[in-house]
C-alpha cells in the first residue's frame, strides 16, 4: 500500500451519507485558491485527483477518497467560495461543525494556507472547529518567496499559531511546485493513517 494508491470513492453532501465511521480518516481544508488541490495531487502523486472535487455538484460535499475500506482522505470544499445558493450554504454550515464534532475516525486535519496570507479570519473560524483534533498547517506556495522571506513568514505564522493555542511545531512550509515539505507531510499522513513506514520498526510477529 502506498500513497499513490488513493482513489476517488464518493461525494457525500451530508455527514449521514459518509462511509462508515471506522478505521482512520484525514481531512484536507483551506480557503479557495490556497493550493489545496495542487497539494493533494502532489502528495498522492497523481495528476487531477482533486479535480474530481471541483466538478459541479461536488462543490459543497465531503469528497471522499480511499486507499482501502479503513483508510480514507476527505477533501472539503474551499471556504470563501460564495457561488452556491443560500440554502446549500446554510446546510453546509451545519454539516461541517457536525463532522468535526462527531467523526470518530478523524485522525488528523491538513489545513492549507497560502504562505503569503495565512491565518485569515475564515482560517481562524475553521480552526475553532478542529480544536479537538491533531492539525498540521501547511504554508503553501513557498516557492513564491525567497528563503529569507519564507523564514520571516514562518516566524510570523508561528506567533499567530501560538496566539490561537496551536503548537507552532505543527506549521510547515510547502510547495507543490518544487516538492518542498512533501516528505515531512507524507510521513505525517502515513502515521495518521497507520501505514507501515519503512523506517518504523514493525511489531514483532506473533
Burial annotation 133-142 (CB, 10 A radius, 16+ → b, else e): ebbbbbbbbb
The DSSP secondary-structure symbol of 124 reads H
Report if residue 19 touches ligand GDP, rule: CB under 6 A. Answer: no
Q: How far apart are CA 75 and CA 61, in angstroms?
A: 9
Q: How far is the CB of 185 from ligand GDP (least distance, A)?
A: 12
Q: Are 130 and 136 in contact (CB under 8 A)?
A: no
CA–CA distance, 2 with 12 (Å, rounded to integer): 25
- Phi and psi, residue 171, nearest 5°: -100, 140
CB 75, min distance to ligand GDP, A: 9
By beta-carbon proximity to ligand GDP, the closer residue of 23 and 118 is: 118
Q: Give the nearest distance from C-beta 158 to ligand GDP in angstroms.
A: 20
Confirm or reject binding of residue 74 to ligand GDP (CB under 6 A).
no
Binding to ligand GDP by CB under 6 A, coded x per residue (else -) over 29-68, reads -x-xxxxxxx------------------------------
Q: Which of 107, 176, 189, 190 is close enough to bind ligand GDP by CB under 6 A?
A: 176
How many other C-beta atoms can be found within 10 angstroms of the C-beta atom of residue 172?
18
Distance between CA atoms of residues 77 and 79, nearest Å: 6
Binding mask of the shown chain, residues 116 to 155, with x at each position contacting ligand GDP by CB under 6 A: ------------------------xx-xx-----------
* Positions that interact with ligand GDP (CB under 6 A): 30, 32-38, 78, 140-141, 143-144, 175-177
Amino acid at each position: 500500500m502506498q500513497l499513490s494508491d488513493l482513489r476517488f470513492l464518493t461525494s457525500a453532501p451530508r455527514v449521514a451519507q459518509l462511509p462508515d465511521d471506522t478505521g482512520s480518516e484525514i481531512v484536507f481544508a483551506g480557503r479557495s485558491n490556497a493550493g489545496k488541490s495542487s497539494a493533494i495531487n502532489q502528495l498522492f502523486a497523481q495528476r487531477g485527483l482533486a479535480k474530481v472535487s471541483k466538478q459541479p455538484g461536488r462543490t459543497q460535499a465531503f469528497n471522499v477518497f480511499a486507499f482501502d475500506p479503513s483508510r480514507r482522505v476527505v477533501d472539503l470544499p474551499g471556504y470563501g467560495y460564495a457561488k452556491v445558493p443560500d440554502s446549500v450554504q446554510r446546510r453546509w454550515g451545519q454539516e461541517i461543525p457536525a463532522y468535526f464534532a462527531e467523526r470518530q475516525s478523524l485522525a488528523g486535519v491538513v489545513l492549507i494556507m497560502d504562505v503569503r496570507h495565512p491565518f485569515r479570519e475564515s482560517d481562524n473560524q475553521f480552526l475553532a472547529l478542529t480544536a479537538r483534533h491533531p492539525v498540521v498547517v501547511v504554508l503553501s506556495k513557498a516557492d513564491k518567496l525567497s528563503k529569507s522571506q519564507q523564514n520571516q513568514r514562518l516566524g510570523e505564522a508561528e506567533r499567530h499559531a501560538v496566539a490561537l493555542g496551536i503548537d507552532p511545531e505543527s506549521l510547515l512550509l510547502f510547495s507543490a511546485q518544487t516538492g518542498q515539505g512533501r516528505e515531512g507531510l507524507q510521513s505525517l499522513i502515513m502515521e495518521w493513517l497507520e501505514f507501515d513506514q519503512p523506517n518504523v520498526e514493525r511489531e514483532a510477529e506473533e
